[in-house]
Copies of this chain bind each other. A is one copy, B any other.
Amino acid sequence: MTKVAIAGASGYSGEELVRLLLRHPEAEIVAVTSRQYAGKTLAEVFPKFAHYRAAQTIPFILPDAAELARLAEYVFLALPHGVAAELAVPLLKAGRRVLDLSADFRLRSAAVYEEFYGKTHPAPELLAQAVYGQPETYRERLKGAGLVACAGCYPTSILVPTLPLLRAGLIRPEGIIADSLSGVTGAGRKADLGYIYCECNESARPYGLPKHRHLSEIEQELSIAAGTQVTMQFTPHLIPLNRGILTTLYLTPSEEIRDAESAERFSRKLADMYQKVYGQEVFVRIDGDKILPDIKNIVMSNVVEFGWKVDCRTGRLIVVSAIDNLMRGASGQAIQCFNLMAGYPETTGLL
């Protein structure tokens, strides 16, 4: 059993880490942190977990790096950006391995961080060693990583289907549009008038236009795959459900789609390429061009699902992907990274 701790366990992704790690056969939660709940047990704070024997004894402690380092081998940080880095630095110094679910270490450039997050990066010296926590893309590097910057929710829904298209040169790097729908857990557990029930229910709205923070990490990874600077359009919307992200991508094929036949041929090329790249991936579901994803088919699962249509009228490629924002978009993917780091089968605790 590997000893793990979760810093920031009272938000939605922290709670999801607790849920998943309680049933993980190789991990033992030794502590969770919360300024508000320090001194209580996990079962006292979250009655929903009280039937797990371990929850009766797992203590909430203050977010103290020395204490976390003393107790745990691996520390998951489910904290706001900025705050996460403050814990990451001493934990890494103490030789602990850190999985950060915030945005603090996702960007390779401290300048881009400052541009998008509006503050000086708190630990720029660590950026070079951080590995981006998207297992299908960085599997080998994750195995040896000391600091993992777990990929964001929207980015995961966009990058998994798009990166291989760029790498294979099947689409052009210009003009990419990602139109995303997200459930309300994506906004976090916070008492804000805009997120009370009746302000979200029976409604839908865009937000964060036109320069949402996640653009920074999406463009960084797309640029690496394309071998050229990618600037893209990203439009997130809030829709009335708890969990799930659906992303519709508008892409330009590298070859001209003139008619049904060339569309069909291009689609087969995609199917072959995706099969080669993801055919063996347990947590990637390729729908092909007949079916498109539906959030209900991936809720509570770690799967990224995507399908596509090649439109012979417009010449465009439309790819639609779906993930559970708390599983694949946050805590599930973090545990997938943890499994790689700790040498467990990648699906451990996630099926």
User: Closest CB-CB distance, A335 to chain B, in whole Å?
Assistant: 15
**Minimum CB distance partner of A302 in chain B:** B51
Q: Is A111 an interface residue (CB 8 A)?
A: no
- Of A62-70, A90-98, A310-318, the segment with at least 4 beta carbons within 8 Å of chain B is A310-318
Task: Produce 1/0 per residue, A288-323, CB < 8 A to B.
Answer: 000111111111110101000101011010101000
The prevalent SS among residues of A at the interface is loop
Copies in the complex: 4
User: Closest CB-CB distance, A205 to chain B, in whole Å?
Assistant: 4
User: Closest CB-CB distance, A35 to chain B, in whole Å?
Assistant: 16
Q: Is A137 an interface residue (CB 8 A)?
A: no
Find out whether the CB atom of A205 lies under 8 angstroms from the CB atom of B292.
yes
With contacts A210-B309, A210-B314, A316-B233 taken as known, whether A204 is within 8 angstroms of B246 at the C-beta atoms is yes
Interface residues of A in 165-201 (CB under 8 A from B): 177, 179, 181, 183-185, 189-193, 195-201
User: Closest CB-CB distance, A285 to chain B, in whole Å?
Assistant: 6
User: Closest CB-CB distance, A92 to chain B, in whole Å?
Assistant: 33
Interface residues of A in 23-66 (CB under 8 A from B): 23, 47-48, 50-53
Which 10 pairs of residues, A with B, have the shortest CB-CB distance?
A203-B296, A210-B311, A205-B294, A197-B200, A184-B197, A48-B297, A203-B295, A179-B179, A191-B193, A191-B191
